[in-house]
Chains A and B, each alone.
Chain A
Amino acid sequence: MSGPARAPFRNPGWAGNVGEFDLSEADVRGTDFVGERPLDGGHPSVAPSYPYMLPGKDPGAVLFEGPYRERFEKIRSRYPTARGALLPTLNLAQELRGHISPETMDEVAALLGLPMAEVRGTVTFYTMYNKRPVGRFLIQVCTNISCSLCKGEEVLNAFLRHTGTELGETSRDGDFTVIEVECLAACGFPVAVQINSRYYENVLPDDVPALLQRLREHGE
């Protein structure tokens, strides 16, 4: 299918490589402004928003200790009910463990004093909770309408081919899990791909090998 003619890919991974602005990747992503975020979540107002897709997962990590305990307390303080803190608490658990196992669900239920069945019902409703372990890089390719019009399916297939995986399966080396995702709200920068916490935009099928290489060598 057709798509807008674009300048060659200088730096796959951000939206600053098209258009009329002369911006660095850090300018577009805001990384200099954000700086290093503290593990304890920083100000309580933003503790529930704290990222949870960091590299280096440990499925056996102890939850809610040290700075993570502090972050949990801050999260809890921002909601009038214990249940209100459920999603941010699950996010915190996934940040550490990489997925939400049934045992994690029960642990979170006990921590917040919620029925285990209700926590399971909530976890299974949301697509971002990995119910099973995923690869070091979770690659989510948008194939919804705007990306579909601009080679979304070809990009998805390129990721599957170059990682040698089937949809949803983790590569043998444990590096990659490729899944299809619904609209990422980056429709003007097709094809939009989310890899762990980051958006990679304007991705075309030919960019995929270099992108995977970059991930292997430099991480997210």
Chain B
Amino acid sequence: MAYPYVHASEVRVISRNFGDPAARTLEGYRERGGYRGLTRALEIGPATVIDEVKASGLRGRGGAGFPTGLKWSFMPRAAVKPHYLLCNADESEPGTFKDRELIRWDPHQLIEGCLIAAYAMGSRHAYIYLRGEFFEASQVIARALEEAYGAGFAGADILGSGTHIDVTAHVGAGAYICGEETGLMNSLEGRRGEPRVKPPFPAAVGVYSMPTTINNVETLAAVPHIVEHGGEWYRQWGTDKSPGTKLFCVSGHVEKPGNYELPLGFPMMELIEDVCGGVAEGRTLKSVIPGGSSVPLMDAEDCRECTLCYEGVEAAGSMLGCASVIVMDDRTDIVREVRRMVQFYAHESCGQCTPCREGTSWMTQVLRRIEAGRGSESDLDTLLDMSAQMTGTTICVLSDSAAAPVVSSIEKFRDEYLALIHRGESAEVA
């Protein structure tokens, strides 16, 4: 059940316990079928668990959409070194608010997912890296973890199987970049959350220089269900390339914003108009950002035929990202909102790479100038030129993410930029 609204089109797999406070307790979770996935995992063994996850076609829900089973299979089999599983609960992509709901409504589902993943990859220690702002969610997970340890689901000799897996809940201290997987590893080591150059990839040299896999909260939340029911079962929803269900975080100008769990491939307009009750106050649609602030803006025309799966959104010129659908109505000032997003990236740039450190602040200044009516048409060329220099030139993709809304908005909403520029020019003449 998604939260805070429910819709008949939803398929409630990972969100089935949303809005149900009784499901938070170990007892309540078990009554609803909890920890069956872990029990089955211990029966079928690590290799078969990985095979099931591969068969399900589950793709990483943190934004990149990398196949989860394949990622797990990159971990070395030999247990000569400690292996780590990191759960990325640093949710901070603007527009995304699913992981906090998954944690606060169903903490045991996430713990079970972590335990199964750690078991499959031979990891004895999993860390759940929660963003520092998640004080309340961290308390919920803390209580649930204590219950899990108390009942023998975590710690030494899990359910009498001889398997030892520790889970530690860790909180960060406020930095968007710690959601980038190598930035998260540095942060977990007590360093500044600066992303690392890849290769080496985390499966070879990760946190504490040991083989590491990092998975998003939503990815791990799906794992117990896949292991319990089998990979094929999960494929009954979604498309061939994007199997399963996904939480869609809808925010902005819609009547009923919230999280909705839908099969991948769901039509975007049906999500906005039917599931979310339409654009707020009966206005018309101007633009949608389908996957969090790091992906290109779409205009109303792009949305018309768009289906919400990895390949569908790509075909419409953007990216599904973490399925954070930000809806903007016809009164939205696109230049202002793009400036607000770029300003965010300028604030969050870790400063390691020059194109990002300089580019994000410079872009913010140029956008502010245009917003204030002091821009010129050549500013648009400057922005596009900067965007090109900020894409694919840095250690991580923060800088690419800042460029995405700028390039796409100039392409789709050039008129709005020009209106501000020309209004300013005519004011000067007068």
Contacts and interface: CB of A to CB of B under 8 A. Distances in A.
A83 B280 contact: no
A187 B96 contact: yes
Contacts of B146: 42-43, 45-46
Interface of A: 1-5, 15-16, 18-21, 23, 27-30, 32-35, 37, 42-43, 45-46, 48-51, 53, 78-81, 83-88, 90-91, 114, 121-122, 125-129, 143-146, 148-150, 181-190, 194, 197-199
Contacts of A83: 189-191
B128 to A, nearest CB: 8
B138 A49 contact: yes
23 contacts: A2-B331, A4-B280, A19-B3, A23-B19, A23-B21, A34-B139, A34-B140, A43-B145, A45-B168, A78-B166, A81-B190, A87-B171, A87-B190, A88-B170, A90-B173, A125-B193, A145-B326, A145-B341, A182-B176, A185-B97, A185-B134, A187-B97, A188-B251
Interface of B: 3-6, 19, 21, 24-25, 82, 91-97, 99-100, 104, 130-136, 138-143, 145-146, 149, 154-155, 166-176, 187-193, 208, 249-259, 280-281, 283, 289, 293, 324, 326, 328-329, 331-332, 336-337, 340-341, 344, 347-348, 350
Given A2-B329, A48-B170, A128-B174, A16 B94 contact: no
B147 to A, nearest CB: 10
B92 A199 contact: no
A145 to B, nearest CB: 5
A16 B101 CA distance: 12
A113 B131 CA distance: 26
Contacts of B24: 30, 33
A15 B4 contact: yes
A188 B289 contact: no
B332 A35 contact: no
Nearest to B103: A30
B63 to A, nearest CB: 14
A4 B190 contact: no
Contact of B332 (A1, A20, A32, A91): A1
B348 A182 contact: yes
B258 A84 contact: no
A1 B190 contact: no
A135 B171 CA distance: 23
Given A4-B280, A19-B5, A45 B337 contact: no
Contact of A144 (B136, B154, B172, B340): B340
B257 A4 contact: yes
Contact of B149 (A5, A19, A45, A146): A45
A50 B136 CA distance: 10
B173 A127 contact: yes
A19 B331 contact: no
A1 B135 contact: no
Contacts of B97: 185-189
A182 B140 CA distance: 23
A205 B142 CA distance: 34
A86 B190 contact: yes
A15 B326 CA distance: 19
B21 A45 contact: no
B339 to A, nearest CB: 10
Nearest to B143: A34
A87 B173 CA distance: 7
Contacts of A43: 142, 145-146, 149
A181 B92 CA distance: 11
A149 B337 contact: yes
B96 A37 contact: no
A29 B280 contact: no
A219 B43 CA distance: 50
Contacts of A181: 133
Contacts of A143: 340
A45 B253 CA distance: 41
Given A128-B173, A144-B344, A33 B140 contact: yes
A141 B51 CA distance: 45
Contacts of B136: 29-30, 197-199
Contacts of B141: 46, 49
